[in-house]
Structures are given as C-alpha cells and as structure tokens.
Amino acid sequence: MNITKKIITIKVLVLNRISLILPNFPNHRFLYKPFEGLRQIIWKSLFKRFGTKSFIRSKVQIVGYNNISVGNNCLIGPSSIINATNRITIGDYFLSGPGLIIYTAEHGLENNDTPYCLQKSTSSKVVIGDNVYVGARVTILGGVTIGDNVIIAAGSVVTKDIPSNEIWGGIPARTIKKV
C-alpha cells in the first residue's frame, strides 16, 4: 500500500470516528463560541461542501456526509436525520425546524415473493433551492427538487417536486399558496 492510500485510509478512519461523536458535540449557545472554529473544520472535512455561516444543531444523524453539499447561511434543526446514499444539495439561506428527515433511498417493493428487506433499494438525489424554510418534522423523499423561496409547513411529507415561490403542506405535501 503506497503512502497516499495509507493517508487516505487514516483520514477516512478518523473522520468516521469524529462523525460518531459529532451529534453530541457541544452545541448549545453558551458552548457555541469556544467550539465554533473546531466545528467548522470538522464539518468542512466531512461534507462535500459546507458553506460559510452554516450550522447544524445538536443530535443530528447523518449518513453519507460526502454526498451532501450545504450552501451558505444554512441551519439544520436539532434531532434531524439525513440519509444521503445519493446526492443532496442544499442552497443558500436554508432553515429547518427540528426533526427534519431527508432520505434519498427507498426499499424495493416490486416482488411480493421476496421479503422487502432483501429487495434492492434505489436512491435518487434531492435538490433544495435558495431561501427555503422547512417547518418541524418535515420529511423529504428521494427524487425531489425544491425550488427557491419555498416554505414547507410542519409535519409535511414531500414526495414530488415543488416549484419556486410557493407554500406547501400536508401528507402528501401539496400547494397551499403561491408567494
């Protein structure tokens, strides 16, 4: 094994260990400033892209850091789950409430003779535009593109594309109002 491969292997191992402790890393307002620089270094090394002045609240579970690009001035709320087996792109000025769920993968359901857990899963990218506000406990499924200047009401399940300049809500999410 050459030296470059060894360095990459060590980096991957270190980042995997850091990603295990990151959800519980001190994240409260009174502890934020002392750890701000370290937190930014960790996030920038884990994510494909992590914008300036972006922040992830406590107890966020993330799979597939290297598939996620986060824009500038973004906030991902506490207790969120992001599963990025495919690409997730989040634009600038994104804001989510607590409990956001983004899944790019889904289980195959084609064959009733094969247990669902043994069927192949598929994954599709998620693209979120600029200036998007997502309420608490929103679920965004794979294959969805959310336009710019969008608001998604709390508790919604987004299963299809949302055009720019609209407010959506419900299960499944649908247009409430154009803005």
Cα distance between the two ends of the chain:
57
87 with 66: CB under 8 angstroms? no
Q: How far apart are CA 88 and CA 5, in angstroms?
A: 27
Nearest partner of 147 among 167, 158, 163, 135, judged by Cα: 163
- CA 88-91-94 angle, 5° bins: 105
Asked if omega into 98 is within 30° of 0 (cis), the reply is no
DSSP bridge partners of 146: 128, 162
* Catalytic residue positions, numbered: 107
Q: Which residue has the tokens 């930014």?
A: 40
- CA 11-125-172 angle, 5° bins: 130
Q: Which residue has the tokens 């620089």?
A: 37
